[in-house]
């Protein structure tokens, strides 16, 4: 069994990757349809929670998802949460320039962070939950998100997913590999696959949607699913 990257190793890698993740179009090009999923989440969040004032961006990276939300709701107060200080610095600068609301940063592991109950109207988590390792961690994070949302608030996820059936997982990864080869060649495919093997522990889409419902979310919807990636979310009841 491959030993997965530690939190410190993940932090160190992202400290060196700020420039790539600062590009709205290509920052996550390894994930098919990443720009589409970002647009869908930003629009869905603002139509489900149109009066939103406060946003929590988990694993904010360079702030791309917050920027997309601010395009639609320009007065948002944004809390940026990430392991990486360089990522937070870049996100704070970019989002601060875009919103007329406030911006604050929290450097922390999402599994350790302490946040106030009912503090947010929207929570987004992009390409971060696949770093959770155990079922207990998954449950804790989803329960925490539910707790920090206000009634009527919404939670939106865009991430790498695993397939439920091993044969479908193999098929999906083969097709994903073909996409990566078409993007940048076989060396790039191998590098991405090595990274996934070392760092990622995604869960199936239905696992995550069932977990959303179990902790209390309603109106859980799939916005987009393409192979090994998905965008989905749910609402906290009033």
Mind listing the pLDDT tens digit for each residue in 141-167?
Answer: 999 999 999 999 999 999 999 999 999
d(CA 140, CA 66): 23
Tokens 């990274």 belong to: 195
Which 3 state secondary structure label does DSSP give 173? helix
Q: Write the pLDDT tens digit of every residue in 214-234.
A: 999 999 999 999 999 999 999
b/e sequence 19-37, b meaning 16+ C-beta within 10 Å: eebbebeebbebbbbbbeb
Which 3 state secondary structure label does DSSP give 167? helix
Q: What is the pTM of this model?
A: 0.94
pLDDT at position 150 is 98
**Burial of residue 130, with CB atoms counted within 10 A of its CB: 0-12 exposed, 13-18 middle, 19 or more buried:** middle
Which 3 state secondary structure label does DSSP give 49? coil
Q: Take residue 145 and report the two structure tokens written for it.
A: 């998100």
CB 121 within 8 A of CB 153: yes
User: Could you tell me the sign of the dihedral formed by the alpha carbons of 227, 207, 128, 158, in that order?
Assistant: positive
d(CA 162, CA 33): 16
Q: Write the pLDDT tens digit of every residue in 157-195.
A: 999 999 999 999 999 999 999 999 999 999 999 999 998
Domain 7-161+202-236 has CATH 3.40.50.10420: no
């Amino acid at each position: 069994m491959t030993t997965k990257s530690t939190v410190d190793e993940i932090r160190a890698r992202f400290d060196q990757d700020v420039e790539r993740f600062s590009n709205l179009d290509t920052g996550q090009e390894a994930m098919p349809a990443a720009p589409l999923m970002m647009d869908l989440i930003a629009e869905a969040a603002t139509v489900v929670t149109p009066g939103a004032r406060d946003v929590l961006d988990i694993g904010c990276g360079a702030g791309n998802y917050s920027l997309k939300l601010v395009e639609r709701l320009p007065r948002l107060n944004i809390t940026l949460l990430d392991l990486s200080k360089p990522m937070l610095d870049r996100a704070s600068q970019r989002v601060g320039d875009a919103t007329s609301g406030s911006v604050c940063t929290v450097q922390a592991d999402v599994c350790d962070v302490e946040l106030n109950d009912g503090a947010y109207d929207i929570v987004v988590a992009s390409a971060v939950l696949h770093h959770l390792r155990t079922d207990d961690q998954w449950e804790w994070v989803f329960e925490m998100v539910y707790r920090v949302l206000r009634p009527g608030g919404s939670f939106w996820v865009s991430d790498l997913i695993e397939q439920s059936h091993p044969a479908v997982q193999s098929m999906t990864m083969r097709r994903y590999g073909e996409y990566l080869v078409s993007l940048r060649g076989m060396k790039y495919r191998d590098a991405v696959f090595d990274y996934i093997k070392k760092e990622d522990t995604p869960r199936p889409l239905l696992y995550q949607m069932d977990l959303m419902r179990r902790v209390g979310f309603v109106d859980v919807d799939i916005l987009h699913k393409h192979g090994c990636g998905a965008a989905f979310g749910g609402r906290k009841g009033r």
